[in-house]
Amino acid sequence: GEISNDPITFNTNLMGYPDRPGWLRYIQRTPYSDGVLYGSPTVENVGKPTIIEITAYNRRTFETARHNLIINIMSAEDFPLPYQAEFFIRNMNVEEMLASEVLGDFLGAVKNVWQPERLNAINITSALDRGGRVPLPINDMKEGVYVMVGADVPFSSCLREVENPQNQLRCSQEMEPVITCDKKFRTQFHIDWCKISLLDNTKQVSTFQEVIRGEGILPDGGEYKPPSDTLKSRDYYSDFLITLAVPSAIALVLFLILAYIMCCRREGVEKRNMQTPDIQLVHHSAIQKSTKELRDMSKNREIAWPLSTLPVFHPVTGEIVPPLHTDSYDNTSMPLMQTQQNLPHQTQIPQQQSAGQY
C-alpha cells in the first residue's frame, strides 16, 4: 500500500474479544491516513500482557493482513507525579498531538513555564471523548485535545494565575484571561486557559474507610412467634354506613330539594299575566292577532308568473309579447319553470335537413 497509495483501513480488537480494552482507543481519519492507538492504562492492568489483533483491509485489492501487537504495562509507582495539570489545546487533533515531535515541543514549552525535575504526559484525550462536538469543515478547524501532564514540583506562579478572581471573572464572561506565560505557547499551541485544571494529589485526604466484616449472623432477637391461626371476626356494618348509606342519604335529600324547586315553585301563565300591566297585554294580543291575519292573507294571495320565464319581445318582429295568462289566472300550483313547448307568439327555429335538401 505504501508504493501504490491504496486505501487501507484497520480493525483492532483484544485477542479473543470483539473490541479493544476500555482504556485503549483507536482513530483513523481516512483510509489514506495512518491509524493511531492511544490510551492510558490503570493500575488494574499492570502486569497483564495485552495482545491487540490488528487486521488491515486493502480497499482496492481486497487483500487482508493481520498482525499482533503485544503491550506490556508496567507500574509507575517508582516515579510519583503528584502535581498534575490538564491543558486543552484548541488547534490540535489527537492524532496530531500524539506525534512524538509535536508532543515533545509541547512538553518543552510546559517545562519552561513549570521548571520541574521530571515531567511526563499522563493522558491524552480527544475533545470528542469529553462530550465535544465535531467542528465544521471550514477554515481547517480542529476538534481539540486534552493533555494531562504530571510533575514532581508544585505549580508555578504562571499556572496559578488562572485561579485569580479577575481571570475567573473574565472566564465567566467568556473572555480570554490574562496569562503572562501564554506567549510561550501561542506560537504553536492555542491553549484555552479557562479549561485548565490543576490537581494537587498531596492535599487530597483519603476517604477510604476500612470495612469491618462480621460473622454474617444476625443478632439474637429472641424466639420467633408467628401470628395466630385463628383470626377474630370483624363487623363491617359501620363501614357500610360510612361508605354507602351516608352518601346515599345526602344525595336523596339534595334530589328532593331540587325536585321541589323545579316542580312546586313554578309561577305559571296566570301569575305572569297578573303581574303584567294591562296595556302591555293589549299590545301583545294585538300583535299576535295582526300576525295571524297576515299569515291567513298570505295563503290566499295570487302569485304572479315569474318574469324570468316569460318572453319579453317577439324574436322576429321585435314587438312586446303580452303575458300568457291574465292577472286572475290561478297559477299557484304551476311550477316555476315551464317545459319547453310550442307556445303562441313563439317562432320555431327550422331544423337542419339532410344534405341537398332545403
pLDDT tens digits, 20-53: 988 889 989 889 888 889 888 888 888 888 899 9
Work out the average pLDDT over 79-83.
Answer: 81
Which CATH number is 14's domain given? 2.60.40
Let me know if residue 334 belongs to a domain: no
Half-sphere exposure of 154 (CA within 13 A, CB side): 4
DSSP 204: P
Tell me, yes or no, whether 201 and 88 share the same domain.
Answer: yes
pLDDT computed for residue 308 by the predictor: 54
Return the H-helix or E-strand segment holding 111: helix 100-114
Looking at residue 340, its pLDDT comes to: 46
- 67 and 101 part of one domain: no
Distance CA(41)–CA(355), nearest Å, equals: 109
- pLDDT above 60 for 267: yes
The C-alpha atoms of residue 152 and residue 114 are separated, in whole angstroms, by 10
pLDDT band at 278 (very low <50, low <70, confident <90, very high): confident
User: Are residues 64 and 98 both part of a single domain?
Assistant: no
* More confident call, 223 vs 193: 193
Q: Are residues 99 and 61 in the same domain?
A: no
- The type of residue at 222 is G
Query: Which grid coordinates are listed for 61?
Result: 485489492
Q: Indicate whether 195 and 104 sit together in one domain.
A: yes
- Whether residues 102 and 66 share a domain: the answer is no
Range of the domain at 47: 1-74
Same domain, 29 and 91: no
Mean pLDDT of 15-20: 90
- Last residue of a domain, which of 147, 181, 205? 205
CA proximity to 141, closest of 104, 181, 91:
91
Residue 172 lies in a domain: yes
Closest CA to 186 of 86, 101, 83, 113: 113
Task: Tell me the C-alpha distance between 124 and 97, whole Å.
Answer: 8
Residues 59 and 105 in one domain: no
Percent of the chain with pLDDT strictly greater than 90: 15
pLDDT-based confidence at 88, cuts 50/70/90? very high
Q: Domain count for the chain, please give it.
A: 2
Tell whether the model's pLDDT for residue 315 goes beyond 80: no
pTM above 0.85, yes or no: no
| Statement to judge: residues 84 and 62 lie in one domain | no
Point out the least confidently predicted range of 105-114, 234-243, 288-297, 298-307. Answer: 298-307
- 128 domain-assigned: yes
Strand-strand pairing, 24-27 and 50-58 = unpaired
As a whole number of angstroms, the distance between CA 277 and CA 118 comes to 114
Q: What is the pLDDT of residues 161-181, one digit of tens each?
A: 888 889 888 888 888 888 888
Residue 92 located in a structural domain: yes
- Contact (Cβ atoms closer than 8 angstroms) between residue 192 and residue 88: yes
Across the range 66-93, mean pLDDT stands at: 86
DSSP per-residue letters across 205-271: PP---------S-PPP-----PPPSSPPP---HHHHIIIIIHHHHHHHHHHHHHHHHHHTT--HHHH
Give the tens place of pLDDT for each residue, 139-157: 778 888 999 998 888 888 8
Name the phi and psi angles at 33, rounded to 5. Answer: -105, 165
Q: Which of 205, 238, 269 is the last residue of a domain?
A: 205
Look at residues 175, 178, 173 and name the one whose alpha carbon lies nearest to residue 161: 178
Domain end position, chosen among 188, 205, 222? 205
Are residues 66 and 24 both part of a single domain?
A: yes
Statement to judge: residues 52 and 163 lie in one domain = no
pLDDT at 338: 47
Quick one: pLDDT at residue 74? 83
- Burial environment of residue 148 by CB neighbours within 10 A (0 to 12, 13 to 18, 19 or more): middle
338 in a domain, yes or no? no
Q: Would you say 176 and 64 are in contact if contact means Cβ atoms under 8 Å apart?
A: no
**So what's the pLDDT on residue 73?**
87
Query: Which grid cell is 354?
Result: 339532410
**Is 103 in the same domain as 34?**
no
